[in-house]
Amino acid sequence: MEEWVGYKWHEYITRQALGEFPEHAVTLKDEARPLGVLFRALGGDPALSLVTAEPRHFRLRRRFLHKLAGTHRKFELAWRDEQNLRLPERIALFPSRELNRDLYLWLAALAASPQPNDGDWFTDNQTMVENLLARWPGLERLYQRLVSHTLQWRPQPEDLPTDEARREDAIRQALIHPGSVPNLPGAAHDPWPVILWLYPALDKAVSASQISDDDTNQSNPGGLAKKRKRRQAERVEAFDRDQGLMIFRLESLFSWTEFIPVDRAGDDTEEEDAEAVADDMDMMSVSSDRRETSASIKFDLDLPSEENDDLRLGPGIHLPEWDWRRQTYREKFCCLQPMLARDAQPAELPEPLRRPAKHLQRQFSALKPLKQWQKRQVEGEELDLDACLEREVQHRQRQGAIDQKLFRRCQQSQRDLACLVLADVSLSTESYINNHQRVIDVARDGLQLLSEALSASRDPFALFAFSSRRRDHVRFHHIKGFDEAYTGTIRGRIQALEPGFYTRMGTAIRQATRLLQSRHEHQKILLLLTDGKPNDLDLYEGRYGIEDTRMAVQEAQKAGLTPFCVTIDDEASAYLPYVFGSNNYVVIRDPAQLPLQLPKLYLNLTR
């Protein structure tokens, strides 16, 4: 009973102290899609991820009720950087759901406007508001309505000490008449947060790649909001070895605060309740000490020995890579190594695939070239009897000009297209779907069924697979070239595919583009099969990998190719529209259906 009373008392005090309207709350998760559309429509960077903002600490002059409830220490405010646009996870400040939603819309519009580089947060926000309202006058009424309610939420100047009151008057004046206040007066405490403005990015002394998921898991350009926040961190020189991962008592539980020296900024494995553990932490410690990396736990994937690896075809091909930060190519930055399965044996089609394969062969055989006779030709292989009889009649009747087209010629109808299928065989394809079948197994079945269908239609096609281990070793597995027949040897190579390493997608697409460019067909299709976003051990993470892949796709389009992506990644719609375009990808919601869906997608592409 005492516990229940205490809980209800805490709930009541907190609700009174916050001064919010939870019944009118609006969440970023529900508003993410229209906010993303608005942000891009107003000229915002389409590569930015829309994610939730972590709370910021403020040293405010709090009232007694705030101190009693322990509130008003942290606030979720809007800000943006090169990677993300961060907005509050939930807004319930105003007594109307429409007003709370309008605040989201205003913040997205403000973030889409050009960012001044003066470095003065106070004047920069006034400039952005002025420019936004000048460019889009229709937002004036929305802004004034938000200002009116924001001023009611803020503390009254008469309740503050002289210096803080003077500063609060300046902020109010800047909100009502943007651009009218040149500087912000100083005071002992932090000013009350200005919820209508964008705040500077958090301290960059600790890089985002070391303390957050920004460059590894949050890159969903223009997509839905992800509830992944940056964490507060401190940088330390090194960790004491005695403070590593160890158990010495029952109460010594594992958590993110304990340190394991590994040679990666992030770990791909998922820990149960890891995010909840991080949310409970006040501070994370980050160290660049690498002395113990090789002696403890190593997540890096070493390459197999020469005798156990696939055959290397040639010394390797050097390809460029797009660096979006510098807005330039890094010439000969990646080394692509063509590979051929060493121990692949000729194989028959697996028994479960034979029945659907026969159905596809009957369906696709209708597409193969047919012989057609063209009549009344000046030259040809045979005489056209109908034309000859008609000429004889004209001669006997002594008519005027006599038709000299007395032959017929056989012409073969041809589908003027070629297709290159590029499959992702990175380590993530080792994962299971439906607890009994691996992603790589589904991909292999899809490649075999598609090959059976294309061999029946006689469309020229090639098969390749790729994975990578940093930029100097991008593995490009040769399965079938355009000039090779689809035989048991090709089936054996498909069945020999195994998961491994990472996904440097841009490099593989560039090599596939080169191969397709050498074809003479009019229509050239680059069909990419993948289960996730681009990534690798080095800097090829997050937006860097997304931007390089996008540039590689644009290069393929400029070369006259049709790139199309087929994926089973549930979050693909968050980044693939930016990479491939809204009509050049498809998400297979049920991965087990990939083998049967793949030939159907090919038919739709080639109609």
- Strongest mean pLDDT among 62-71, 112-121, 540-549: 540-549
Q: Residue 344 is part of a domain; what is its CATH number? A: 3.40.50.410
Closest CA to 86 of 41, 56, 126, 131: 56
Q: Give the span between the Cα atoms of 284 and 89, in whole angstroms.
A: 22
Residue 563 has what pLDDT?
Answer: 96
447 located within any domain: yes
Q: Give the span between the Cα atoms of 187 and 106, in whole angstroms.
A: 29
Task: Determine phi and psi for 411, rounding to 5 degrees.
Answer: -125, 135
483 contacts: CB under 8 Å, gap ≥ 6 = none
Whether 555 and 408 share a structural domain: no
Whether 522 and 391 share a structural domain: no
- Map residue 358 onto helix, strand or coil: helix
Domain end, chosen from 383, 412, 441, is at: 412
DSSP assignment of 514-550: HHHHT---SEEEEEEEESS--B-SSS-SHHHHHHHHH
Q: Name the residue range of residue 398's domain.
A: 371-412
82 contacts: CB under 8 Å, gap ≥ 6 = 325, 543
149 located within any domain: no
Q: Mean pLDDT throughout 110-122?
A: 82
Cα first-last separation, the chain:
71
Tell me which of 329-333, 412-416, 449-453, 577-581 is least confident: 412-416
Residue 388 has what pLDDT?
Answer: 82
Residue 473 has pLDDT above 90, yes or no: yes
Top pLDDT among 308 and 500 is at: 500
Contact 178, 185 (CB under 8 A): no
Q: Provide the token pair at 542.
A: 């997050």
DSSP assignment of 53-104: PPPEE------HHHHHHT-SSEE---EE-SSEEEE-SEE--SSSHHHHHHHH
Whether 442 and 503 share a structural domain: yes
264 located within any domain: no
Q: Say what the pTM is.
A: 0.69
Q: Mean pLDDT throughout 155-171?
A: 88
DSSP letter for 51, please. Answer: E
Q: Where are the beta strands (DSSP E) in 341-480?
A: 371-377, 382-383, 407-412, 417-424, 432-433, 437-438, 461-468, 474-480
Total domains in the chain come to 2
Domain end, chosen from 379, 412, 445, is at: 412
Q: What is the Cα Rg of the chain in Å?
A: 32
Q: Give a three-class secondary structure readout of 246-263.
A: CCCCCCCCCCCCCECCCC
Kindly tell me the sign of the dihedral angle through the C-alpha atoms of 194, 200, 205, 207. Answer: positive
Which pLDDT band, with edges at 50, 70 and 90, does 298 fall under?
very low
Residue 118 has what pLDDT?
Answer: 65
Q: Mean pLDDT throughout 156-161?
A: 87
Which pLDDT band, with edges at 50, 70 and 90, does 120 fall under?
confident
Q: Mean pLDDT throughout 58-83?
A: 74
Q: Mean pLDDT throughout 418-426?
A: 95
Q: Give the span between the Cα atoms of 405 and 379, in whole angstroms.
A: 8
165 located within any domain: no
516 contacts: CB under 8 Å, gap ≥ 6 = 418, 420, 524, 526, 556, 559, 561
Residue 213 has pLDDT above 80, yes or no: no
Top pLDDT among 462 and 289 is at: 462
Q: Give the span between the Cα atoms of 89 and 26, in whole angstroms.
A: 9
Q: What percent of the chain has pLDDT over 70?
A: 75
Whether 513 and 388 share a structural domain: no
Q: Mean pLDDT throughout 578-606?
A: 91
Whether 386 and 473 share a structural domain: no
**Residues 54, 299, 263, CA angle at the centre, nearest 5°?**
65
Residue 5 has pLDDT above 80, yes or no: no
Residue 20 has what pLDDT?
Answer: 73
Q: Please state, rounded to an integer, the average pLDDT across all residues of the chain.
A: 80
Contact 462, 482 (CB under 8 A): yes
Tell me which of 194-198, 383-387, 408-412, 435-439 is least confident: 408-412
Q: Mean pLDDT throughout 105-129?
A: 86
Residue 337 has pLDDT above 90, yes or no: yes
Which pLDDT band, with edges at 50, 70 and 90, does 571 fall under?
confident
Whether 465 and 515 share a structural domain: yes
Q: Give the span between the Cα atoms of 196 and 171, in whole angstroms.
A: 11
Whether 475 and 498 share a structural domain: yes
Whether 378 and 508 share a structural domain: no
Whether 492 and 581 share a structural domain: yes
Q: Mean pLDDT throughout 500-517?
A: 95
336 located within any domain: yes
Closest CA to 504 of 472, 481, 526, 480: 472
Which pLDDT band, with edges at 50, 70 and 90, does 549 fall under?
very high
Top pLDDT among 408 and 275 is at: 408
Q: Mean pLDDT throughout 417-423?
A: 95
Residue 242 has what pLDDT?
Answer: 43
486 located within any domain: yes
Q: Mean pLDDT throughout 157-169?
A: 88
Top pLDDT among 65 and 545 is at: 545
Task: Determine phi and psi for 155, rounding to 5 degrees.
Answer: -70, 150
Contact 419, 461 (CB under 8 A): yes
Residue 377 has what pLDDT?
Answer: 78
Residue 487 has pLDDT above 90, yes or no: yes
77 located within any domain: no
Whether 336 and 392 share a structural domain: no
Whether 361 and 384 share a structural domain: no
391 located within any domain: yes
Which pLDDT band, with edges at 50, 70 and 90, does 579 fall under?
very high
Residue 297 has what pLDDT?
Answer: 42
Residue 239 has what pLDDT?
Answer: 45
Whether 397 and 433 share a structural domain: no
Residue 109 has pLDDT above 60, yes or no: yes
pLDDT digits 0-9 by tens, 248-292: 444 444 444 444 444 444 444 445 455 555 555 555 555 555 444
Contact 437, 422 (CB under 8 A): no
Contact 542, 549 (CB under 8 A): no
